[in-house]
């Protein structure tokens, strides 16, 4: 059976696909194996979803290759891709409430956050790339010769793409990857996380309604050790895109190199610094600092998890920040209640990992200012936590926690702040709070990170590229830059002189 009826906490009844999505149909896996997806708020099973084996992924790739060679790729006019992307955006917008409720159920994020943030941003992403689908152009190049010769370039779709998306933003990460791939003319084999597969499967259903041909999108929920490995090493996949941990990213890159040397884009971990200078508006800076780490319960690769505060304002700022953390903690609760601002972490494994990190911080000498406790009762909650008086050699400073925990240290000079910020193997996001314009320019230029937020934190735009320095990844998502990751440049040289 490839569909089950779910009754959501709101009373809404949803016919939820549970099979693999291949050739525009939901089918059981070849092995018949399934995997339970768990509600992180209640710790109860939502339903069981088919999980793909290597054999299933072979079938999905063959379907995507056939579609690329026949009905998509160079055979789908740009106007068709424009229409289908816009149509899919319309359907996501129509079903926003249902999708947001499924996201809250499966992921644990507050319903209002999904409804007011994740879904509209995803709709806009599909519309943004619909606007690009008929504007992918090359160059005409003058040839330094006696005349009668020219060269021009074509940006052609790279082919069949394997896309592996994480559990922290199931719908939004799907949109970030599918939209530019479809706009460029690629077909996709998508692997959602085994922890949060429900909305991806529901969106697959919408692609059929939108009119996407069979094989343009195939979806293969599976365990990362099986599906991710099979996609990364597959000889008939032309490109793999992955969002997740740096450790897994290394494995994917190695598998891609050892197979057919497929193109790889990786959006990996982060340990993003957030600098608070004495010229900043402290109340506003604390608001941004709290939002930068507590958004999505800290389960965010760009979370501002390392906070460095100028010594002259350190104690005052900590007091303001602690108040905001306590206010946020009071909003943690049932994701389906409108007043809820924070839900559970996605799994018991993740909650326990966060708790272990906090314990290690205390053991190494950090001071708990706020939080440091788990929820007693059902649900994998961990309360917003501030660890102050850190040292650079602490585990909580060096490694990604991926939870609502910020570590706070101090600096005296601008030069010291920059040194502390860049003292990491990561380089995804960074932030600075200052009202000194010259300082803002100096510091933002010196930070080794793919994104720098100034007097704000975590704001993204579908038009602005996103990616990392150092071990935070390779390539860029969003903006026109993402299209470069899904196209290959062909150079055509032409002698039209008619002379030998």
Mind telling me the catalytic residues? Answer: 267
DSSP 43: T
Bridge partner residues of 495 (DSSP): 149
387 neighbors 361 (Cβ within 8 angstroms): yes
DSSP-based three-state secondary structure for 201 = helix
CA–CA separation, 356 and 323 (whole Å): 24
Residue pair 99/202 in contact (Cβ under 8 Å)? The answer is yes
Helix (H) or strand (E) holding 279: none
> How many Cα atoms occupy the beta-carbon half-sphere of 50 within 13 Å?
25
Distance CA 135, CA 338 (A): 41
- The first and second tokens of residue 317, run together, are 């700022």
Distance between CA atoms of residues 469 and 390, nearest Å: 24
Q: Name beta bridge partners: 158.
A: none
Q: How many CB atoms lie within 10 A of CB 420?
A: 18
User: Which CA distances in Å does 273 have to 42, 377, 409, 425, 430?
Assistant: 34, 33, 11, 12, 5
Based on the number of CB atoms within 10 Å of its own CB, is 308 exposed (0-12), middle (13-18) or buried (19 or more)?
Answer: buried
Alpha carbons 500 and 497: distance in angstroms, whole number: 9
Q: Please tell me the distance from the alpha carbon of residue 190 to that of residue 241, in angstroms, as a whole number.
A: 10
Q: What is the dihedral of CA 400, 361, 458, 263, to 10 degrees?
A: -10
Strands (E), 66-204: 140-142, 149-157, 160-164, 187-191
Strand-pair category, 273-276 with 306-310: parallel
Given a contact cutoff of 8 angstroms between Cβ atoms, the answer to whether 393 and 365 are in contact is no
> Of 407, 431, 347, which is closest to residue 168 (Cα–Cα)?
347
Which residues are CB-neighbours of 192 under 8 A, at least 6 positions away? 165, 170, 174, 200, 201, 219, 221
């Amino acid at each position: 059976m490839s569909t089950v009826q779910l009754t959501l906490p709101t009373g809404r009844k949803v016919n939820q696909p549970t099979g693999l999505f291949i050739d525009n149909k939901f089918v059981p896996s070849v092995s018949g194996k399934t995997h339970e997806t768990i509600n992180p708020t209640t710790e109860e099973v939502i339903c069981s979803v088919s999980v793909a084996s290597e054999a299933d992924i072979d079938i999905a790739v063959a379907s995507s290759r056939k579609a690329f060679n026949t009905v998509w790729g160079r055979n789908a006019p740009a106007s068709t891709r424009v229409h289908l992307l816009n149509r899919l955006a319309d359907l996501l917008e129509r079903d926003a409430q249902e999708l947001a409720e499924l996201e809250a159920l499966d992921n644990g994020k507050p319903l209002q956050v999904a409804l007011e943030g994740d879904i509209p941003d995803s709709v806009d992403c599909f519309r943004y790339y619909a606007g690009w689908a008929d504007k992918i152009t090359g160059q005409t190049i003058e040839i330094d010769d006696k005349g009668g010769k020219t060269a021009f370039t074509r940006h052609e779709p790279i082919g069949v793409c394997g896309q592996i998306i994480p559990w922290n933003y199931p719908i939004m990460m799907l949109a970030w990857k599918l939209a530019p791939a479809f706009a460029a003319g690629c077909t996709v084999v998508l692997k959602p996380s085994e922890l949060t597969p429900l909305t991806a499967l529901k969106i697959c259903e919408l692609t059929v309604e939108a009119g996407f041909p069979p094989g343009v999108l195939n979806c293969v929920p599976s365990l990362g050790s099986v599906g991710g490995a099979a996609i990364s090493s597959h000889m008939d996949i032309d490109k793999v895109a992955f969002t997740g941990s740096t450790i897994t990213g290394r494995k994917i890159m190695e598998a891609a190199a050892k197979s057919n040397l497929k193109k790889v884009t990786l959006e990996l971990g982060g340990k993003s610094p957030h600098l608070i200078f004495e010229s900043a508006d402290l109340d506003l800076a604390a608001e941004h600092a709290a939002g930068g780490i507590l958004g999505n319960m800290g389960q965010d690769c760009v979370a501002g998890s390392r906070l460095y505060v100028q010594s002259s304002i350190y104690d005052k700022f900590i007091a303001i920040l602690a108040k905001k953390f306590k206010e946020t903690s009071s909003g943690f609760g049932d994701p389906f209640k409108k007043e809820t601002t924070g839900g559970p972490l996605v799994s018991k494994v993740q909650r326990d990992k966060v708790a272990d990190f906090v314990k290690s911080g205390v053991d190494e000498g950090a001071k708990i200012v706020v939080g440091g406790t788990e929820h007693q009762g059902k649900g994998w909650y961990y309360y917003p936590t501030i660890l102050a008086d850190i040292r650079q050699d602490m585990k909580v400073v060096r490694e990604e926690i991926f939870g609502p925990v910020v570590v706070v240290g101090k600096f005296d000079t601008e030069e010291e702040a920059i040194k502390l910020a860049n003292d990491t193997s990561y380089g995804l996001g960074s932030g600075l709070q200052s009202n000194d314009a010259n300082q803002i320019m100096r510091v933002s230029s010196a930070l080794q990170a793919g994104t720098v937020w100034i007097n704000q934190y975590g704001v993204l735009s579908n038009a602005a590229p996103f990616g990392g320095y150092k071990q935070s990844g390779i390539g860029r998502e969003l903006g026109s830059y993402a299209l470069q990751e899904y196209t290959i440049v062909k150079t055509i040289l032409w002698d039209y002189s008619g002379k030998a």
